[in-house]
Structure 1
Amino acid sequence: MRILGLDIGDKRIGIAISDPMGWTAQGLETLQRSSNEKVLAHLQEQIHIYEVSTIVCGLPRNMNGTYGPKAEEVRKFGEKMKERFKIPVVYWDERLTTVAAQKTLLQGDVSRAKRKEVVDKIAAVFILQNYLDSKR
């Protein structure tokens, strides 16, 4: 069974998937946000295709460790996923994952336009990989 990692933003959702053994995270796609129903339907399809057993959502925290309004939005969306998919939803600290993703893409000399397309997917990879590493 695989684990799905999500970097949930206002405009896009980065999606990553683990390998079947749960050792590595690979970027899957960046999904443009639309209605919650469309997003949930797409995620349900991915959960079925990849036989996902758990979802890991990046939880935005302030640098001092407190939670803001974005964290509450992610939790509400997580509850919708939990109700609909009937699988565990885990929250993982996502501080600096987008910064790390941007830095990685800059080091890879990826163009500004391409970075915008993939940064959320790469952030989802960082979130999921950090979660997987913590489980070992």
Structure 2
Amino acid sequence: MAKAKARAAAIDLGKARVGVAVTDELGLYAHPRPLLDGRNRKALLEALAALARDEGITRFLVGLPLEMNGDEGPAARRAAAFAQALADAAGVEVELVDERLTTVEAARRLRDGGVSGRKSKERVDGAAAALLLQAWLDRRG
């Protein structure tokens, strides 16, 4: 029987909504989870720390929204500060990952799959987190 790999989770950090995706037990595929409320940072950190404990998450990936020219703007600095707070709260490794265009790609894929309007808006953050996590998993081989 294959030994379960350490699990990772990706975070698509928004001011109001936070998308989350978690790897399967074998560490091969990313699966979106329900959105978390991004307006209460303390509650968000507690929910993510609980996720790490309950599901054996050993690494979080936090999307780093760089400017298109690669520079760090205010959103990237906010993501970096959040990543440090998450590492402190959850006690696991946190890695910043370039997320440029993941939300655009997630919206396109949802639209191509027949999901539009309000349903798309509700699912795009989780889909973006899943894209970010799947790309990271694919690079690791």
For the superposition of Structure 1 and Structure 2, which TM-score range results when normalised by the shorter chain?
Answer: over 0.9
Mapped partners of 1:15, 1:32: distance in 2: 11
Higher relative contact order (CA 8 A, sep 6+): 1
Letter in 1 for 2:19: G
1:55-94 equivalent positions in 2, closer than 5 A: 55-94=60-99
CA deviations on 1:2-41 (whole Å, 9 max, x unpaired) are: 1011000111110000012221101112112221111011
CA deviations on 1:41-69 (whole Å, 9 max, x unpaired) are: 11122112211000001100111111111
Mapped partners of 1:122, 1:114: distance in 2: 12
Mapped partners of 2:36, 2:88: distance in 1: 21
Question: Counterpart of 2:3?
Answer: none
Gaps of 5+ in 1: none
Mapped partners of 2:29, 2:64: distance in 1: 20
1:42-121 equivalent positions in 2, closer than 5 A: 42-121=47-126
Q: Report the Cα offset of residue 133 of structure 1.
A: 1.1
TM-score (norm 2): 0.92
Mapped partners of 2:105, 2:56: distance in 1: 29
Gaps of 5+ in 2: 1-5
Q: Which range moves more in the overlay, 16-25 or 118-127?
A: 16-25
Letter in 2 for 1:22: G
Task: Say what the alpha-carbon RMSD is for the aligned residues.
Answer: 1.0
SS of the equivalent of 1:72 reads helix
Aligned residues: 136
What is the identity percentage for the equivalent residue pairs of Structure 1 and Structure 2? 34
Mapped partners of 2:47, 2:88: distance in 1: 16
Letter in 1 for 2:130: V
Q: 1:41 aligns with which of 40, 46, 51?
A: 46
Question: 8 Å contact 2:64–2:76 — kept in the other structure?
Answer: yes
Question: Counterpart of 2:21?
Answer: 16
